[in-house]
Amino acid sequence: MSSVLYQKVVKSFGALNVLRSLDLAVPDHKFLALLGPSGCGKTTALRILAGLDMPSAGKVFIGERDVTRLQPRDRDIAMVFQSYALYPQMTVAENIGYPLWIRGTPDAGRKAKIGEVAAILEIGHLLDRRPRQLSGGQRQRVALARAIVRDPAAFLMDEPLSNLDARLRLTMRGEIKRLCQRLSATTIYVTHDQVEALTMADFVAVMHGGELQQMAPPIEIYDRPANRFVATFVGNPPMNILPAALSEKGVIVAGKVVPLDAARLAACRAASVAEIGLRPEDCSAAAADTPDALQGEIYVVEPMGNETLVNVRLEGGNVSVRAGREFRGVVGESIGVAFDPANACFFNSAGLTAVHRVNNNGRVT
């Protein structure tokens, strides 16, 4: 296994700039999720690493090796595509063994290795079938088996779960995570599903418009988003964003002054804060006339079984609140929204996070 490095990688298709100087380093043995909305350049970034596309500028390294100009077969990586790309005329065993056959691995060694990876992925009983005789989840396992059958320097996976139904996706999410931990494999996993990224990865790289927004461990992406885009792309329901102004004592949100301690207020002032960000779980439903709560009106109530999502219309915009399962408010009712400003983050007018939530040490950052 090896580390992976993108160095100032640019990719344009004619006038369309798809990657605008991508710098990204994936440490050896780590699982990186490349997360971003449709069209942000995720697949393009993977294809450049795999050698299926050439960058317009910049370099890619696998381990110490500059592989930018190498043929795909000389890069020692394995890629799992969304479509699985199995050979329909071959059996499962032949599909899995194909990368070894190409390399001239003798029959006996190949057979043993096929058996070994088929056992890991629990598809040993399917080896004589053709891909058309398999379910989506079984095909997906075969594609994974084919990727791990030779020990590549890195695994690249492009939305490998997107063709599966919701239930199977959930199961395979855990299975792939286990598999990658067991193999201790350097992995780049492309997804537009923020839950997949957070649950599976050691690091999440969030992309938008061909640019890397932030790369960090999942919890940091969630708790300390670099900007408004990351803050709202990760989390479901997304972080609430409201216009914010400063007063002598605190921040003015939805027509109400919420007191801030002196250090936080000074940090907000220095940064010319324009908006406040609040996660739904950091907001709570309060009685309509609660003194320090924002005042609003219930817009939608969504019982989820274990909790209730309440959407509240405030001056300045709507917010989502995670309330308990016992929540009994009805649409149109007046309601208070309470929050601890220590859990809020603040954005400047450029959309960058100027003041983060207070961390565990009580340090203002």
Ligand X SMILES: Nc1ncnc2c1ncn2[C@@H]1O[C@H](COP(=O)(O)OP(=O)(O)OP(=O)(O)O)[C@@H](O)[C@H]1O
Residue 43 CB, nearest distance to ligand X (Å)?
Answer: 3
Binding site for ligand X (CB under 6 A): 13, 16, 18, 36, 38-44, 192
Cβ proximity to ligand X: between 193 and 297 the closer is: 193
In angstroms, give the least distance from the CB of 257 to ligand X.
Answer: 42
- Tell which residue, 57, 127, 52, has the closest CA to residue 94: 127
In order of 79, 174, 287, 297, 322, the CA distances from 332 in angstroms are 52, 41, 14, 6, 18
Query: Mind spelling out the 3-state secondary structure of 27-85?
Result: CCCCEEEEECCCCCCHHHHHHHHHCCCCCCEEEEEECCEECCCCCHHHCCEEEECCCCC
Which C-beta is closer to ligand X: that of 140 or that of 353? Answer: 140
Contacts of 153 (CB under 8 A, 6+ apart): 1, 2, 62, 63, 75, 76, 77, 186
What's the closest the beta carbon of residue 170 comes to ligand X, in angstroms?
Answer: 20
Segment near Mg ion (CB under 5 A), from 42-50, 178-186, 257-265, 328-336? 42-50
Residue of this chain nearest to Mg ion (CB atom): 43
Q: Find which of Mg ion, ligand X, none residue 39 binds, CB within 5 to 8 Å per kind.
A: ligand X
Q: Which does 38 bind (CB under 5 to 8 A by kind): Mg ion, ligand X, none?
A: ligand X
170: helix, strand or coil: helix
CB of 190 to ligand X, least distance (A): 7
Instruction: Name the segment binding Mg ion (CB under 5 A); options: 41-49, 172-180, 195-203, 283-291.
Output: 41-49
103-133: string of b/e by CB count within 10 Å (b at 16+)? eebeeeebeebbeebbebbebeebbeebbee
Q: How far is the CB of 247 from ligand X (least distance, A)?
A: 42
In the complex, least distance from residue 4 CB atom to ligand X, rounded to whole angstroms: 17
- Residue 38 or 71: the one with the smaller Cβ distance to Mg ion is 38
Residue 16 binding partner per list ligand X, Mg ion, none, with a CB distance cut-off of 5 to 8 Å that depends on partner kind: ligand X
Specify the 3-state DSSP secondary structure of 223: helix
Of 34, 40, 43, 97, the residue at the interface with Mg ion (CB under 5 A) is 43
When asked if residue 191 is in the footprint of Mg ion (CB under 5 A), the reply is no
For residue 97, give the amino acid letter. Answer: G
Choose between 192 and 228: whose C-beta lies nearer to ligand X: 192
Q: Give the residue among 332, 331, 280 at the shortest CA–CA distance from 301.
A: 331
Closer residue to ligand X, CB minimum distance, 62 or 206 = 206
Contact at 8 Å (CB) between 212 and 225? no
Identify what 41 binds: Mg ion, ligand X, none; CB under 5 to 8 Å per kind.
ligand X
Q: Considering CB under 5 A, how many residues would be counted as binding Mg ion? A: 1
For 185, residues 6+ apart whose C-beta sits below 8 A from its C-beta are: 1, 29, 31, 148, 152, 154, 155
The nearer residue to ligand X, 123 or 200, going by C-beta atoms, is 200
Q: Which does 18 bind (CB under 5 to 8 A by kind): ligand X, Mg ion, none?
A: ligand X
Q: What is the DSSP letter of 106?
A: -
**What's the min distance (Å) between Cβ of 193 and Mg ion?**
12
The distance of closest approach from Cβ of residue 37 to ligand X in the complex, given in angstroms and rounded to an integer, is: 7
Q: Which does 44 bind (CB under 5 to 8 A by kind): Mg ion, ligand X, none?
A: ligand X
Interaction partner, residue 40 (ligand X, Mg ion, none; CB < 5-8 Å by kind): ligand X
* Sequence-separated contacts (24+) of 162-168 with Cβ below 8 Å: 162/82, 163/82, 163/83, 163/84, 163/136, 164/136, 164/137, 164/140, 165/136, 168/136, 168/137
- Residue closer to Mg ion by CB (options 36, 280) is 36
Q: List contacts with Mg ion (CB under 5 A).
A: 43
